Amino acid sequence: MTAGTPEHADTKSIGEDITSSELLAIHSARALAGRRVVFAGHGLPTLATSLAQRTVAPEIEIVYESGVTGARPPDLPRTISDSVLVPGAASVIPMTHLFNYVLQGQRIDVGFLGAAQVDRYGSLNSTLIGEDWEHPDSRLPGSGGAIEAMAGAAEIFLVMRRHTPRTFVEELDFVTSPSPHRSAQSDVGVMPAGAGVTHVITDLGIMTRFAQDEELTLTAVHPGVDPAEVVRQTGWNLHVVPDIETTQPPTAEELALLRETLDPSRVYLR
Amino acid sequence: MDKTMSLSEAISTHLNDGDTVALEGFGHLVPVAAAHEIIRQQFSNLTLARMSCDVIVDQLLGANCLTGLIAAFVANSSAGSLYELRRRIEHSDPEPLWFDEYSHGGMVARYQAGASKLPFQPIASYRGSDLAQKNPRIRSVDDPFGGPPIYVVPALNPDLTVIHAQRADSAGNVQAWGMLGIQTEAAFAGRRLIVTVEEIVDESIIRSDPNRTIVPSHVVDAVVEVPRGAHPHAVQGYYDRDDAFSRDWSALARDAEAVKSWLQTNIHDTADHEEFLALLGADHFDHLGIRDAYSTPVNYGGRG
């Protein structure tokens, strides 16, 4: 610590060698502290859930869309349908059971997802970018099971690799997985069972919301990030809590687990 | 009754131009060899039902086999984009594609209704989703028991379903383990069913562990032994996923001409799956080996 406050010195040393994806995985894992039944989506949620199992949530029961529950993979699953998830798992159920009884049956505490775009109430787009639904500028993967995770899980956590006005938008190009706020505006179909998106972890900070008509609010920024910058990088008029916190930097233990044990070939830590 | 036959004979017997064909398997036990045989026999005007897409969707499109797709996830598993598919959806290049889009839960519900011979299946999701606006086949009905109107999806009854599994007996009692996807429902929903397997085994092996059977023989029209028939996907206990192959496909398929050339060399110019595998190289599967992990046998008992 040669200059500035100790906090400033820490921030600087962290910023030099921690990648954005490591930061996202670590804060995503921490958000799962004490959670029990977690549906892990593809990508960073898979890595974050595995990290949480080894740190803040040893009792976690990880559920994958492929039908695997209680996974304790000895090797890093490269996808949610990696056969390495099966040996040592508590169960492998058919996808009919997974979708009907586990997701639609409201057995999931937290669904952990990613998306291409999110709006202020936590509706998600993973379908397309562009104005014309029939001929979009970019066709994205689509729902997969995201619609059912949003509809059935008690809460959704969202991890977004890049916090920009193009990803945090006033209006989605396509509402794939609707927030409860959005669902309430329709009079057809069953209302979502849970609260929708309650936590969003980005490369700039953390946002939360809890009630149906509550907007995502910035509650924490990562060390060295100015809250005003997060507001500029958000496509709607983002509310910031007055007593905003700074996230605690990753620990040496978390970094070692990620880099040496969980993802040494950097499948997700790209 | 012996239902074993060659893959070539099974496909030519049970598939017709214009059919809806389901090829199911969720990143595991995917009937890839069967998809390649459909390309080899140059079927056309097919509609493919495939809940979660992968390389075979791009390959069937590139070979001009498909005019329609019923799916819920249209990327190359986790390996990137499917560019043949994106060219058709984004630019109608070279032709438009009829794309009947759902979520995974919607596809599960469609196969369930089809397997149960019900006209449709209610589903608790879709309220407020643009998917229900985009797809006119996602509809709502009044709840006769007094609840709000509920979304329903139509039954899916493919003309032909093809699934891949670890093993079956010659009558077609199919056993699989690991991730089971939507294969049982797709099998019962199909009007005809082909099962490809890593191994055809003696009936006594199947009957020693009847809970392992995911599809009973009365549903099955043809049983085909196709070792490594799911490559580049995994088969639990047999071989691992070939991620490099899938990633390389996404890179190659950016170029439509490269797809044509790949199909010519690897599918049209090979006689069968064995010749296709030979082109990968004799040592290709060396790095796709798995470590053994046997279950503890269970005691099915018997009257004492």
Q: Which of B60, B53, B12, B17 lies closest to B35 in space, CA to CA?
A: B60
- The first and second tokens of residue B245, run together, are 């192959």
Answer whether residue A202 is part of any domain. yes
Average pLDDT over residues B283-302: 95
Q: For residues A77 and A119, is the Cβ–Cβ distance under 8 A?
A: no
Give residue-wise pLDDT tens across range A75-118.
Answer: 889 999 999 999 999 999 999 999 999 999 999 999 999 999 99
Lowest mean pLDDT among B23-37, B189-203, B280-294: B280-294
Q: Residue B262 corresponds to which amino acid?
A: W
CATH number, domain with residue A89: 3.40.1080.10
Answer whether residue A189 is part of any domain. yes
Choosing among B24, B89, B125, which should be mutated to test the A contact, i.e. which has the most A CBs within 10 A?
B125
Give residue-wise pLDDT tens across range B37-77.
Answer: 999 999 999 999 999 999 999 999 999 999 999 999 999 97
Answer whether residue A249 is part of any domain. yes
CA distance to partner chain A, nearest, from residue B175 (Å):
14
Q: For residues B79 and B243, is the Cβ–Cβ distance under 8 A?
A: yes
Answer whether residue A5 is part of any domain. no
Q: Which of B235, B236, B243 sits opposite A78 (nearest CB)?
A: B243
Answer whether residue A270 is part of any domain. no
Structural domains in chain A (count): 1
Choosing among B53, B86, B103, B138, which should be mutated to test the A contact, i.e. which has the most A CBs within 10 A?
B103
Query: Chain B neighbours among A 27-56 (CB < 8 Å)?
Result: 42-43
b/e code B131-170 from CB counts within 10 Å (16+ = b): bbeebeebebeeeeeeeebbbbbbbbbbbbbbbbbbbbbb
Checking if the pLDDT of A3 tops 50, the result is no
- The first and second tokens of residue A134, run together, are 């029939």
Q: For residues A226 and A11, is the Cβ–Cβ distance under 8 A?
A: no
pLDDT of amino acid B77: 78
Q: Give the rounded distance of the alpha carbon of B13 from its chain centre.
A: 19
Give residue-wise pLDDT tens across range A126-183.
Answer: 999 999 999 999 999 999 999 999 999 999 999 999 999 999 999 999 999 999 999 9
pLDDT of amino acid B282: 86
Q: What is the mean pLDDT of chain A?
A: 93
E strands, chain A, where? Answer: 37-40, 61-63, 68-69, 91-92, 110-113, 117-118, 124-125, 128-129, 138-139, 155-159, 197-201, 205-208, 217-221, 239-246
Give residue-wise pLDDT tens across range B96-147.
Answer: 999 999 999 999 999 999 999 999 999 999 999 999 999 999 999 999 999 8
Answer whether residue A4 is part of any domain. no
Q: Which of B129, B130, B241 sits opposite A83 (nearest CB)?
A: B241
E strands, chain B, where? Answer: 20-23, 46-49, 66-71, 98-101, 120-123, 139-141, 150-154, 160-168, 174-175, 192-200, 213-215, 222-225
Checking if the pLDDT of A2 tops 80, the result is no
- State the sign of the Cα–Cα–Cα–Cα dihedral B285, B291, B295, B297: positive
pLDDT of amino acid A270: 80
DSSP string of B40-92, one letter each residue: HTT--SEEEE-SB--HHHHHHHHTT-EEEEEESB-S-TTS---HHHHHHHHH-
- The first and second tokens of residue B70, run together, are 């019923």
Integer CA distances (angstroms), A124 to A55, A160, A237, B8, B24, in order: 29, 11, 18, 44, 27
> For residues B124 and A207, what is the distance between their CA atoms, to the nearest angstrom?
28
Domain extent at residue A148: 20-262
Q: Which of A81, A141, A192 sits opposite B28 (nearest CB)?
A: A81
Mapped onto helix, strand or coil, the DSSP state of residue A183 is helix
Q: For residues A114 and A45, is the Cβ–Cβ distance under 8 A?
A: yes
Average pLDDT over residues B224-251: 97
Answer whether residue A11 is part of any domain. no
> For residues A107 and A91, what is the distance between their CA atoms, to the nearest angstrom?
15
Confidence of residue A16 (pLDDT cuts 50, 70, 90): low
Name A240's bridge partners.
A218
Give residue-wise pLDDT tens across range B157-166.
Answer: 999 999 999 9
Q: Which of B213, B220, B158, B162 lies closest to B189 in space, CA to CA?
A: B158
Query: Chain B neighbours among A 104-163 (CB < 8 Å)?
Result: 104, 123, 127, 133, 135-148, 150-152
Q: What is the mean pLDDT of chain B?
A: 97
pLDDT of amino acid A102: 98
Answer whether residue A10 is part of any domain. no
Q: Which of A67, A77, A7, A13 lies closest to A255 in space, CA to CA?
A: A13
Give residue-wise pLDDT tens across range B178-199.
Answer: 999 999 999 999 999 999 999 9
Q: Which of B134, B61, B57 lies closest to B95 in space, CA to CA?
A: B61
pLDDT of amino acid A214: 97
pLDDT of amino acid A137: 97
